[in-house]
Amino acid sequence: MQSLLTCPTTPFLLPPSLHNLHSQTLLQLQSNHIAQTKLKPIPQNEIHARTRLFNLYLRMYVNAGAMQEARKLFDEMPERSLVSWTIVMSGYARHGPASEVLMMFWDMLCGSGGGLLRPDSFVFAVVLRACGMVECLSYGRGVHGLVVKQSSVVDSFVENALVSMYGSCGALEDAAVVFGGIDKPDLVGWSSILSGYVKNGLEEEGLRIFCDMVSGGIEPDAFAFSMVLGACTNLECWDFGTQAHCYIIKMGFDSCLYLENSLMDFYAKCGDLEGMRRVFSHMSEKNLVSWNTFINGYVHNFHYLEALRIFQILMEEVSQCDDFSLLSILKAVSGLGHLDHGKEIHGYILRAGIETNRYVVSSLLDMYIGCIDHESLYPRVEVPLKLLNYLEGGGYDEFIMTSLLKWCSLESSLETAKRVFTRVEQPDTAPWSALISGHSWNGCFAEALKLFRKMQFDGIKANEFTFTSVILACLALENLRKGKELHCKILRSGYESNFSVVNTLINLYSELWQHKQALKLCSMIPDSEISWNFLIRACLGAEDYEIIHKLLWRIQVSHGNLDPVSACDIFASCSSPVLLNVGTQAHAYMTKRGLISHPTISNSLIQMYSACGKFDEAVQAFNLMPEKDTCSWTSILSARVEHGHPSEALNLISQMRWKNKPADQSTFRSVLNACAQMGLVDEAFRLFFSMKEVYGIEPLEEHYSCMVEVLGRAGMFEEVLDFINGVPTFKLGPLIWRTLLSSSRIHGNMKVAQYAAEKLLELEPSDFSANLLLEQVLLTLGEWDNALKLKTKTKSMRASSSWIEIRNRIYEFASDENPAKEVSAKLAEIEGKMEELGYVADKNHLLHNAEEEEYDGVGLHHTEMKALAFGLISLPHGMPVRVVKNVRMCGDCHSACKFMSTFLERELVVKDPYSFHHFRDGKCSCRDTW
């Protein structure tokens, strides 16, 4: 890029012609005034003519902005009329200070300088306007009381001034009451109430007022349009703003420079840079505000290079800039890290003589800080130090100090930060906030809390940056009590609706397992401003999946932001066959948002569809991935094993080797499970030993468990017990014994089943399945007394349940509840059909039946059968029926489902804690080994 500052300029000064005219006018007024005061005393009958002459000079002084001379002349007047008071008070209201209007009005009422005067409507209007300027509500209410007593002065001037005063003072209810009492409000009245709502942050209500105003036949002026554009800018309401733009053109205000600048700002804040460019290119006249708004629009939207280009054109065509231009362009330079351009701008600042402007110097320091390579071993810090030396002896204000403290914090130079801080006389909020934030950034969380307490003791009010830093310190220290205390302080300080503060509080409560408290905070700020990521992660940790799905709906409606991690969490919350519908909706939404292409999200999508029993969709998600990492391969490999495709899983591991995709612990778990399903004992041992020797992966308990399953499924129980004896003690956990128990039940080996169940109950005495299985084993072995003791124990344990989703609603069927009549009728119908086709219940499933009560029927009494029957009633013909069960599927039900799949003409899917069961054409995907 070429030099940004090709044209040298001088600081902005008042044009000589205007300055001379101003001086000549004052000299003429003063000479006339002196000449008049040297005249002989005027007779009483000419005093009124003299007062009119004085009023003429008063008006000339006021119009010239010379309030000091006007006040001096006013004080020397022998007699002051109501017009005299009005001229000077209106001058103060126009040129300031507005507080002088209130004092003069009090003097006028008290009869200072002559007889009592009765204010007219214009005086009341001026005074009320001044009350609004200084936001003195109590004084304004007093003036309102005088107006009520002197009802004859009430006209449109006073009514409109009352509305404006109450609106400026934040008393919108009073403003609305006054406005509602106006018979036929004019443009000024409508604009006053509109301005009151917009300036007090109620932009949506302000836009409704504007619509009422237009529908009532009142044509807006430039001021009303500026309020509307301001409201649309704050709300980022592009639709309403563009309609307002069309109305502005229709009304002929499109050449109003102030509105054109407001339109550019509106389009920039809404992210419509093309709209901003269009307004700028069609402007017949551009002032420095126009250029600044144009540049800042690009900076606001992070188009820093374009901002630099426009700034260069500004310096070439206009040859001047101001502090606002410099603040924006320094931010752009900082964002790009272009230190050379920053130094060039620094040189211009020195040549232009504006290096004493505290805002400019503070931004200059921020620019240097932003351009420092803090990751480097030798960061370029010489320029901030030179600035520090340059300012030596000149005194630091809080803005410069804040930048210096930020720099010290980023450099982890906390002692330097404290020394800089001590140089601030009576430090205000900004330096305190920078010092506290610096300590939080550098991990000194306890010290940050101490500094915050001292700040409070010194009576300094915290701002949003202070609160967010201290909240994060509480989070880092996991100090929930301090966090709640801080929350109370935030409520008392009026920051309960601040977006940044509320989101940081949501983060605090979410991370500290208080997700319900975090959810309550969502009502404090608009949905579009909530950081949903913290909430979703907290709800996932609490397994509150229903809340996550409600949050997803709110995110869709509010167009909220999601990061890839939260998208993965949402898919994880849908990982159940009964939540498939929610999962597919989430998939559609993520696709629309363009998030699916992210590898991490695609991996979660594979896992979700696999967990929901939609194996084909999982494969499709894998095939559509443009880039596949190790996690992608492992996810689809695991899906193939889980859904009964072990040979395909082993083929995938070969493809991974060919594509140089490294295997991880999850990969080996899936491959070993595939070997177990196929009975490949030797291959399993080869892979198991290669984990550490070839891949350098230390086997975990789950890998030892896989080897137990490999040997157990092969019926090699002597070998499996020898293998278990060789497992390191610290890796010999419940999973291994639960796996051995599963293998022994497949083969009906009672002795091994008893041994495994007892070992499991030593580690987990309340395991429901192990207790029931051990009870059945003891009964089989003839140990009646011990079996009776266990039966008494298991009666107090939970009942089994199954779930099915129908049209976005989940239905539960518990073992201790009777089904509805229609479900019972459907079960009877199926039983009759099965008996007609010659089905005979298989009674060789003693251990497989141990997790639910016995029953003398064809196996249609358990909870999954009730859920399947309800699905057959409720779902369209041919649609798969998907059921989730919380205990292992019994052998009777398994045999019944295989037989049912031969005549129901639809797939039956049952997911229990141990396996997926896809029943098609009389077969199950588990190959009867679950």
Q: In the 8-state DSSP scheme, what is residue 3?
A: -
Q: Containing domain of residue 342, as a range?
A: 286-376
Task: Among 352, 376, 400, identify where a domain stops.
Answer: 376
Section 835-853 average pLDDT: 67
Within a domain: 359: yes
pLDDT-based confidence at residue 389 (cuts at 50, 70, 90): low
Residue 351 pLDDT: 84
Residue 866 forms part of a structural domain = yes
CB contact at 8 A, 241 and 257: no
- Lookup: tokens for 553: 């709906």
Q: In the numeric block, which tokens belong to residue 95? A: 């040129």
Q: Alpha helix (H) ranges present in 643-733?
A: 646-658, 665-678, 681-693, 701-713, 717-725
**How many domains are contained in the chain?**
2
Dihedral sign (CA 204, 209, 212, 213): negative
Task: List, for residues 450-468, the tens digit of each pLDDT value.
Answer: 999 999 998 899 989 899 9
Pairing outcome for strands 801-806 and 923-924: unpaired
DSSP string for 283-335: -S---HHHHHHHHHHHHHTT-HHHHHHHHHHHHHHT----HHHHHHHHHHHHH
pLDDT of residue 278: 93
Using left for φ > 0, alpha for ψ between -120 and 50, and beta otherwise, residue 318 falls in alpha
- Cα–Cα distance for residue pair 878/871, rounded to 1 Å: 11
Domain assignment present for residue 884? The answer is: yes
The residue that leads in pLDDT, 916 or 559, is 916
Among 439, 443, 434, CA closest to 466: 434
When pLDDT is averaged across residues 707-723 and rounded to a whole number, the result is: 93
- pLDDT at position 16 is 38
Whether 519 has a pLDDT exceeding 50, the answer reads yes
Residue 868 lies in a domain: yes
Cβ–Cβ under 8 Å, residues 890 and 851: yes
Mean pLDDT of 110-117: 65
Kindly indicate the confidence band of residue 391, based on its pLDDT and cuts at 50, 70 and 90.
low
Mean pLDDT, to the nearest integer, of 556-585?
89
Instruction: Give the model's pLDDT for residue 45.
Output: 54
Burial of 318 (0-12, 13-18, 19+ CB in 10 A): middle
In a domain, 873, yes or no: yes
Last residue within a domain, chosen from 376, 398, 428 = 376
What does the pLDDT look like over 520-536, one tens digit per residue? Answer: 998 888 888 888 988 99
Q: What is the average pLDDT value for the chain, to the nearest integer?
A: 84
- 795, with CB counted inside 10 A (0-12, 13-18, 19+), is exposed
Look-up of token digits 């859920």 = 867
Q: Is the pTM of this model over 0.75?
A: no
Query: Percent of the chain at pLDDT above 90?
Result: 43
**What pLDDT sits at residue 88?**
92
Residue 803: per-residue pLDDT: 93
User: Does 640 map to a domain?
Assistant: no
Band (pLDDT 50/70/90 cuts) for residue 12 is: very low
Q: At residue 774, does pLDDT exceed 90?
A: no
Last residue of a domain, which of 347, 376, 405? 376
Give the CB-side neighbour count of residue 676, counting CA atoms within 13 A.
28
What is the mean predicted confidence (pLDDT) over 780-806?
A: 73
> Does residue 897 form part of some domain?
yes
Percent of the chain whose pLDDT exceeds 70: 86
Q: Is residue 879 part of a domain?
A: yes
